[in-house]
Structure 1
Amino acid sequence: MKSENDNLIIDGIKTLLDVSPLYGNIVMNLVREVNPQAANPLALKWQGHHWYLLVNPNLLTARFTSHNQVAAALAHEALHVIWQHPTRYAKEREHNQMVDIGTDLAVNQYLPRDLGELPGAISFQTINELYHINLPHNQDSSTYISLLSEVDQKNSRAKKRALPKHTEWQSASNSIEEAESALKNVIKKANDDTKYAGRGNVSGAVLQQISEVVVPKRNWKSILRSGISQAPNKKKDSRARFNRRQAYRLDLPGEISRYDTEIAVFIDNSASISNSQASEFLANAMQITKQFDINVHFFSFDTKVHQIKNIKTWQRHAGGGTTFQSIFDALPALKFFPLQTLVVIFTDGDGEKELIQTKFKHVYWLLPEGQTLSIPSPFGKVITL
């Protein structure tokens, strides 16, 4: 006969598989170990060439009272897997508490809303109460850890509250490469399991992170080159080519493609962009002129679009906020046409959270590693620099 603890765990897994099959299948691809001595209700541990979901049934039933809450706690662990936190921070020694808080804050904002609140979860409100700061949403854990590490903890109330600890992640520190590979395997298997059945209600930022693992890496310039080759083009006669319809007629010209495609490059110049990021954007943007023999036009943007007359001599002056819609409002005004224009946007992804209205669909969003795009349902291709 199953105990009440077993029923709560099993019902929690079933609920998660119903609400969010992607998260549920990540949990299903972990080896489960029940340990009443474990320090946390749930934890991720590397042992014997496998990733384990460590379960303390006593703490689980003490903290969570419904299968929805258990499902939310399981989703929390699944999100740590998706962002590969156990291997990224396995060797972290400095600011351990900041790692625990920063990683939890990063994943808790993507928990399935249908499951309700996760008891004891670190939230932006929690951080405001403890450290008296307002942190930006939809950022990577590394950003939160960095910002929290700058806070003077002597005047905070953090030490008086029981905060999460992920000490089990250190179990992977002595075999980090194998552990990384195994963690990615868990993500790939879960993604394959839900590819046809559906992933459930999952944020675009989570899907982007999944694609970072399951989609083979390609240099952004090769992706852009592929986009150019697929753009509409016209044909023109050429004596350098055989006529494909009548190859034996040497007097007839062949045809070669003539591309009318133009590239419009937009560099994020808002206040959230650091000088080092701006320099990286500029260096990558200048490579486009060297690698592609088509018309390339450069612009900077914040809440407005500004033309860059000479990319080689452009001097950056930090602007204000970021509005992606300003780009797509400016394109038709600048006489660009949707079918013939490839839009390349260098940005940290931090802009408005509303849907973008535009007919321009050949769009390439180039973001620094670890950053996500703020707009819902991103169109085009989101690429990591």
Structure 2
Amino acid sequence: MNAEDRDKLIVDGIKTLLDVAPLYGNVIMNLARENNDTASNALSLKWQANQWHLVINPILLTTYFINHTQIALAFAHEALHVIWQHPIRYADERIKSPNLIDWGTDLAVNQYLPIALGMLPGAVTLQTILGLYGKMLPIEQDSAEYIALLSELTENQPARGPKPVDGHGDWASAGQGIDEATSALNFVIEKATEDTNRSGRGDIGTAVLKKIASVTAPKRHWQAILRTGISQLPTKKKASHSRFNRRQAYRLDLPGSVSEYEAQVTVFIDNSASISDHQAGVMLANARQIIQQFDVEVTFFSFDTTVHEIKNIKQWQRQAGGGTQFQSIFDTLKVRKFNPKHTVVVILTDGDGEETVLSTKFRQVYWLLLSDHKLSILEPFGKIMNL
């Protein structure tokens, strides 16, 4: 099969999944796409450059799965790993017992593949375990439960039988930035859910919908509100080959598009002594998500009683400072001549600072407070939200 035929088969698989199970298809559409003819697996999920990538080896994919229906099932399998958050749940643990985790996670997701598309070739199922070990495991359990049951059956020895249909080894790539990777994976789920609400979910089980709700319900408000605020400013589109073209998904040569906002966004990260390293990590992970979710000009700062520009947010290492003074943020914006009408100010903080009224003309301000914290200033303005 030549490259053109492989590309057509893969695109037909994506189109089929979008038709039969739009939720799964939109999860795939919201992942960054990377084609790699030398990848060791047909499909894998990898955390790289602050976003989640779906790595596709077109040669292996079209060798293992010979028609568009099977390829659609393979993509649905990856989407379910995302929905069940397996790449972050097992980023570190998979090194300890890879076979058990590979089988346990696959058992959990393969029960929710679209029935209308048939069976996924090579899939590990409950019947697979019954045939190998003579024991029927309970249906619709979480991967952790299956891993525990498999551990008893195999006595922690490598499991016999087929290998996973995809690669799970790249899940370990999230281990060094788990907070940021978690936030990014959840955003993929949230965005896919928003996209799907316009067209219907298709062939999706109740358990999957409950899992989606557990991810989206408590964590989407500040991002949605910030998106609304930025979207009120003039926007334009730019081409991006890291996204599928939504109008013509069958054309791999056509880039997709992402919104490019003309607003200036300034992000201030609380670096005062009251912030623990863990809290700093949470704020940093959320701050980095802004540049992933919006194509805007973003300037990053840290602050305590003074403000310091962060030249490279990906490499920034915090060093705890002293007290907290919110007024220093707005003084810095004025000195650096940011325009109050076109500047969005995002402040990640525990909220513990001065109580006095702040002096500023900036009103497009978003206070992102750590969980269960309140803002200390007596006359707050802007929008106050919790991470």
Scaled by the length of structure 1, the TM-score of the pair is 0.54
Relative distance call for 1:198 and 1:175 in structure 2 (3 A) is same
Deviation at 1:132, TM superposition (A): 2.5
Mapped to 2, the partners of 1:160 and 1:208 lie a distance apart of 31
Mapped to 1, the partners of 2:57 and 2:3 lie a distance apart of 16
1:94 to 93, 96, 117: 96
1:172 to 150, 171, 174: 174
Residue of structure 2 equivalent to 1:249? none
Deviation at 1:159, TM superposition (A): 3.5
1:120 maps onto 2:111 in alignment: no
Mapped to 1, the partners of 2:90 and 2:157 lie a distance apart of 26
Q: Contact conserved, 1:131 with 1:153, CA < 8 A, in 2? A: no
Residue of structure 1 equivalent to 2:77? 76
SS at match of 2:204: coil
Residue of structure 2 equivalent to 1:30? 31
1:342-357 equivalent positions in 2, closer than 5 A: none
Mapped to 1, the partners of 2:171 and 2:91 lie a distance apart of 5
Deviation at 1:197, TM superposition (A): 1.5
Gaps of 5+ in 1: 218-385
Mapped to 1, the partners of 2:157 and 2:86 lie a distance apart of 28
1:28-81 CA-partner distances (Å, limit 9, x unpaired): 000111111212111111100010001011111111111000000000000000
Q: Contact conserved, 2:32 with 2:54, CA < 8 A, in 1? A: yes
1:104-147 CA-partner distances (Å, limit 9, x unpaired): 00000000011111000011111112233210001100000011
Q: Contact conserved, 2:122 with 2:162, CA < 8 A, in 1? A: no
Gaps of 5+ in 2: 220-387
Mapped to 2, the partners of 1:108 and 1:152 lie a distance apart of 21
Mapped to 2, the partners of 1:190 and 1:160 lie a distance apart of 34
SS at match of 2:46: strand
1:50-65 equivalent positions in 2, closer than 5 A: 50-65=51-66
Deviation at 1:153, TM superposition (A): 5.1
Residue of structure 2 equivalent to 1:211? 213
Residue of structure 2 equivalent to 1:108? 110
Mapped to 2, the partners of 1:39 and 1:153 lie a distance apart of 29
Mapped to 2, the partners of 1:149 and 1:214 lie a distance apart of 32
Deviation at 1:4, TM superposition (A): 1.0
Q: Contact conserved, 1:51 with 1:182, CA < 8 A, in 2? A: yes
Mapped to 1, the partners of 2:161 and 2:22 lie a distance apart of 37
Q: Contact conserved, 2:13 with 2:72, CA < 8 A, in 1? A: yes
Q: Which of 99-108 and 163-172 deviates more?
A: 163-172
SS at match of 1:202: coil
Q: Contact conserved, 1:105 with 1:124, CA < 8 A, in 2? A: yes
Deviation at 1:201, TM superposition (A): 1.8
Residue of structure 1 equivalent to 2:47? 46
1:1-385 equivalent positions in 2, closer than 5 A: 3-92=4-93, 93-152=95-154, 158-159=159-160, 161-163=162-164, 165-216=167-218
Mapped to 1, the partners of 2:120 and 2:161 lie a distance apart of 21
Q: Which of 127-136 and 175-184 deviates more?
A: 127-136
Mapped to 2, the partners of 1:21 and 1:154 lie a distance apart of 38
Mapped to 2, the partners of 1:26 and 1:155 lie a distance apart of 34
- Read off the aligned partner of 2:39 and give its amino acid letter: A
SS at match of 2:176: coil
- Read off the aligned partner of 1:174 and give its amino acid letter: Q
Aligned length: 216
Q: Contact conserved, 2:23 with 2:193, CA < 8 A, in 1? A: yes
- Read off the aligned partner of 1:211 and give its amino acid letter: A
| Structure exhibiting the larger radius of gyration computed from Cα positions | 1
Relative distance call for 1:160 and 1:141 in structure 2 (3 A) is closer
CA RMSD in angstroms comes to 1.8
SS at match of 2:153: coil
1:152-198 CA-partner distances (Å, limit 9, x unpaired): 35999x44543455101001111111000000000000000011311
1:328-375 CA-partner distances (Å, limit 9, x unpaired): xxxxxxxxxxxxxxxxxxxxxxxxxxxxxxxxxxxxxxxxxxxxxxxx
User: Percent sequence identity over matched residues?
Assistant: 55
Mapped to 2, the partners of 1:90 and 1:100 lie a distance apart of 12
SS at match of 1:54: strand
Deviation at 1:100, TM superposition (A): 0.4
Scaled by the length of structure 2, the TM-score of the pair is 0.54
Mapped to 1, the partners of 2:28 and 2:178 lie a distance apart of 21
Mapped to 1, the partners of 2:104 and 2:156 lie a distance apart of 18
Q: Which of 90-99 and 74-83 deviates more?
A: 90-99
Mapped to 1, the partners of 2:91 and 2:157 lie a distance apart of 29
Mapped to 2, the partners of 1:160 and 1:11 lie a distance apart of 30
- Read off the aligned partner of 1:216 and give its amino acid letter: P
